[in-house]
Structure 1
Amino acid sequence: MSSDTASNRIVVKIGSSSLTSLHGEVSRRKLEKLVDEIVQLKDAGHEVLVVSSGAVAAGYRKLGCLERPSSLPEKQAAASIGQGLLMEAYSELLLSHGYVASQILITRSDFSNETRYNNVRNTLNVLLERGIIPIVNENDTVTIDRLKFGDNDTLSAKVAGLVEADKLIILSDIDGLYNADPRENPDAKLLERVHKITPSIEEAAGDSGSAVGTGGMRSKIDAVKIAMASGISTFLGKAGTKDILVDAVNQSAKGTYFIPMDDMINLNQKKQWIAFNSGPEGEILITEEARTSIIENEKSLFPTGVYGVNGNFKKGSVVKILDKEGKSIGLGVIKYSSEQLRQFFKQREQHDEKNGQLAVVDNNDLVCNLELLVPVGL
């Protein structure tokens, strides 16, 4: 990971409440402040990618709604108006400082398909390397609920992993993670440094209380877990704080710094995609011996360790791996179709690992201990 004084690749997530006025319009004052700080990071030599919320919040009034819409068609219509307003404002302000912005609208299906996932990564890398500032948002106009990332906190963490960022900065209307809800408990203490997301931290996570955003503290904790599993340090702080971005990079801002330890799980690009984006298409059941082999000894999974198949899938699909109790222990890219595995069960005596039989799941395509990362399905 890069040092704080070196050039960094930084992903900045900006929440809806950080950009909009009380009336739901884009706040020019708030946007100018944040763009000025993004420019300071760029002038210091950093690469910056922005994951920006605010499309629905910026557009719903111009759609004729008096309050944030609840129906999906109205949300999508509002987003189609608001996204253009956001990009126009970002582009105009950044151009006034000599920087070019680009717009990237994505859906969860863009990440669940490995080819499209790699295409997004290649595009973002070109933009960052050329000094462009990508403005990323979920394509709310066409996305349906079952294909949504859920919130831009999760999206920002996945994008940070995608581009191998050095830092993720999550800006919101809260100034960090507390050990209790500060709105209800005046003795709540800000956690300034966190190296591991413990059950007590997850239990303390509550909603942000914002009327215009969708991501509460729970979503931010899940986002942090994704980033930390990818080896990325994360900062959570209040967007309205003076010089918040620059101070966050220098680790002098008020907020919470989530810093992964060297011995923590650090997934490479392939395993990040498997763990956080792929979406399993079936299940395989494995023996206790195979479970020990792949988890404790970090070996590949061979056909002799598989005794059951649920669902139908093709070779190259991602499948969920279950132990004999039915507990999910990981995800992996399967080298056999479900039909091939079922045929194997019928002729098991003809196959064994020593005969050069291909692994069912290669260790390089296998992610275990998902419960230590994030809930499967994020």
Structure 2
Amino acid sequence: MISDTTNKRVVVKIGSTSLTSQHGQISRRKLEKLVDEVVRLKDNGHEVLLVSSGAVAAGYRKLGFLQRPTALIEKQAAASIGQGLLMEAYSELFLSHGYVASQILITRDDFSAEDRYNNVRNTINILLERGIVPIINENDTVAINQLKFGDNDTLSAKVAGLVDADMLIILSDIDGLYDADPRKHPHAKRFERIYNITPDIEQAAGAAGSAIGTGGMKSKIDAFKIAIASGIPSFLGKASTPDILYDAVYQKAIGTYFEVTTSAMNLNLKKQWIAFNSGPRGEVIVDMRAKNTIMKKKGSLFLPHIQKVKGRFNHGEVVKITDSNDETIGLGVVNYSSEKLLELQNLPQAKLAAHQKPIVDSEQLVCQLHISVPINL
């Protein structure tokens, strides 16, 4: 429970349907409500980061389309118009309350390179220290499919982990997670608090329910898994509910709270980057002894247990670790290049003992078994 006297760092994600009218244009009324609630949290001493969808939805009519385009190049053109409209409106509204808003546009590639990942973190920290409200979105205008987060639900969870947020709030057009689709099943029950995302809960998550947005309930569940693995409690609620942000932070809102338990993985920043952002450069196949050590004892990986090396990678890059059945065991930062590993593998058995340095240290290894969300999502 968050106390009234504790200032928190809160990441708020809001979807396209919660920001636009039924015709796909920016809704001034919805924006004003959101900004007013963010300002209330700011006035109470909290730091707020906003992950805002809506650029494509806000821009496609200005581009001459009657419906949201589906072709990537058309969506990118619409985003180039809509992002400016969004930021203009945000800046004006926040300034009217005495706060400055900043824009941060990123792609998945910005997170996959560790130095750029840390640069984003440093930039956001400076902005927050200065009382600025960072408004974050995927750089839809330039991102290609291979470098996209996929949806802003995933992006918001990764941003929450990046900045060591105290809470992630996802605002949508539904007031929480239900055991069935409430639009089709009037007797569906809402989950008030979730302590473990089970397969049954995942099954209750439906597909995208909006023609304007891109994320559905499944993407939100994936986002909450990332947040929980990063040790961040989360909340899902309806954006149109009065005082939803304030009440969510103070544990009074109608919606679904996703709690972090003592059994959660609670990955540190380095392991978050390895698990969710790095993008493996190659692969090492290991024997069953190494697999058991990694999965059961969370140990390091040593040279004698590597059966095969695939791909080309340098020292310090992330590789995928698999078994002989092609089952993913985890991801880890290697202490040797692929060239050096192949060279060491050809050494006589008597000389292998001289190389005691782990191929992957346990501190820089994330095992798939230990977290509930697929690694490198």
TM-score by length of 2: 0.97
Q: Can you list the C-alpha shifts for 1:70-124, whole angstroms capped at 9, x where unaligned?
A: 1111101110000000001001000000001000000000000000000000000
Q: Distance in 2 between matches of 1:294 and 1:374?
A: 18
In the superposition, relative to structure 1, how do residues 133 and 254 fare at CA in structure 2: closer, same or farther (>3 Å)?
same
Please show how residues 143-222 of structure 1 align to structure 2 within 5 Å: 143-222=143-222
Q: Is residue 2:368 matched to residue 1:369?
A: yes
The separation in 2 between residues aligned to 1:203 and 1:31, in whole angstroms, is 33
3-state SS in 1 of match to 2:257: strand
- Corresponding residue number in structure 1 for 2:340: 340
Q: What letter corresponds to residue 241 of structure 2 in structure 1?
A: T
1:181 and 1:71 mapped to 2: Cα distance?
29
Q: In structure 1, the residue corresponding to 2:87 is in which secondary structure?
A: helix
- SS of equivalent residue, structure 1 residue 333: strand
CA drift of 1:207 comes to 2.2
Give the equivalent residue in structure 2 for 1:282. Answer: 282
The equivalent of 1:80 in structure 2 is: 80
Give the 3-state SS of the residue equivalent to 2:222 in structure 1. helix
Take 1:334 and 1:166, find their aligned partners in 2: how far apart are those partners?
31
TM-fit CA distance, 1:370: 5.2
Unaligned 5+ segments in structure 1 are: none
List per-residue Cα deviations over 1:195-251 (Å, max 9, x = no partner): 111111111110241110000000000000000000000000100000000010111
Q: Is the 8 A contact 2:344 2:352 kept in 1?
A: no
Q: Secondary structure at the match of 2:339?
A: helix
Deviation for aligned residue 1:285: 1.0
Q: What displacement does 1:290 show? A: 1.4
In structure 2, distance between residues paired with 1:173 and 1:289? 49
TM-superposed deviation, 1:298? 2.2
What CA distance in whole angstroms lies between the structure 1 residues aligned with 2:270 and 2:4? 27
CA drift of 1:342 comes to 1.5
Q: Please say which of residues 148-157 and 315-324 is displaced more in the overlay.
A: 315-324
Matched, 1:119 2:110: no
Instruction: Kindly indicate whether the alpha-carbon contact (under 8 Å) linking 1:286 and 1:305 is maintained by their aligned counterparts in 2.
Output: yes
Q: 1:287 to 1:242 in 2, by over 3 A?
A: same
Matched position secondary structure for 1:296: helix
Distance of aligned partners of 1:85 and 1:234 in 2 relative to their CA distance in 1, 3 Å threshold: same
The whole-number CA distance in structure 2 between the counterparts of 1:148 and 1:2 is 33
Please state whether the residue corresponding to 2:254 is helix, strand or coil: coil
| Paired position in structure 1 for 2:106 | 106
From the superposition, tell whether residues 342 and 86 of structure 1 become closer, same or farther in structure 2 (CA, over 3 Å). same
Deviation at 1:349, TM superposition (A): 1.2
Deviations 1:113-166 (A, max 9, x none): 000000000000111111100000000000011110000000000000000000
Is the Cα contact below 8 Å between 1:370 and 1:376 reproduced in 2?
Answer: no
> For the Cα contact (< 8 Å) 1:331–1:368, is it kept in 2?
yes
TM-score (norm 1): 0.97
2:34 alignment partner AA: L
CA distance in 2, matches of 1:80, 1:320: 36
Aligned: 1:29 with 2:29: yes
- Whether the aligned pair in 1 keeps the contact of 2:265 and 2:370 (CA below 8 Å) is no
Aligned to 2:312: 312
Compared with structure 1, are the counterparts of its residues 369 and 9 closer, same or farther at alpha carbon in structure 2 (3 Å cutoff)? Answer: same
Q: Distance in 1 between matches of 2:32 and 2:43?
A: 16
Q: Is the 8 A contact 1:4 1:249 kept in 2?
A: no
Of 22-31 and 363-372, more deviation after overlay is shown by: 363-372
Please tell me whether residue 97 in structure 1 is matched to residue 65 in structure 2: no
| In 2, Cα distance between equivalents of 1:348 and 1:48 | 58
Report what 2:141 is aligned to: 141
| C-alpha distance in 2 between matches for 1:205 and 1:324 | 33
Displacement of 1:182 after TM fit? Answer: 1.1
CA distance in 1, matches of 2:181, 2:330: 33
Paired position in structure 1 for 2:41: 41
Q: Take 2:273 and 2:44, find their aligned partners in 1: how far apart are those partners?
A: 31
Measured in 2, the distance between the counterparts of 1:344 and 1:263 equals 38
In 1, the alpha carbon distance for the partners of 2:348 and 2:372 equals: 35
Distance 1:373 1:114 in 2: 23
Would the alpha carbon gap of residues 328 and 3 (structure 1) be closer, same or farther in structure 2, given more than 3 Å must change?
Answer: farther
Q: SS state of the match for residue 326, structure 1?
A: coil
CA distance in 1, matches of 2:355, 2:198: 42
3-state SS in 1 of match to 2:137? strand
Aligned-partner Cα distance in 1 for 2:204–2:307: 41
How far does residue 45 in structure 1 lie from its aligned partner after superposition? 0.3
Q: How does 1:189-338 map to 2 (within 5 A)?
A: 189-338=189-338
Q: Is the 8 A contact 2:194 2:256 kept in 1?
A: yes
- Aligned-partner Cα distance in 2 for 1:130–1:377: 32
Asked whether the 8 Å contact 2:55–2:86 carries over to 1, the reply is yes
In the TM superposition, what is the alpha-carbon distance from 1:328 to its structure 2 partner? 0.5
What is the CA distance between 1:5 and its match in structure 2? 3.9
Q: More deviation in 57-66 or 334-343?
A: 334-343
Residue 351 of structure 1, CA deviation? 3.9
The farther-off stretch of 61-70 and 286-295 is: 286-295
Unpaired stretches in structure 2, ≥5 consecutive residues: none
The alignment partner of 1:363 has SS state of strand
Whether 1:69 and 2:69 are equivalent positions in the alignment is yes
User: Offset of 1:41 from its aligned partner?
Assistant: 0.2
AA partner of residue 375 (structure 1): P
Please provide the CA RMSD for this pair. 1.4
Alignment correspondent of 1:16: 16
Superposed displacement of residue 180, structure 1: 1.0
SS in 1 for 2:360: coil
How many residues are aligned here? Answer: 377
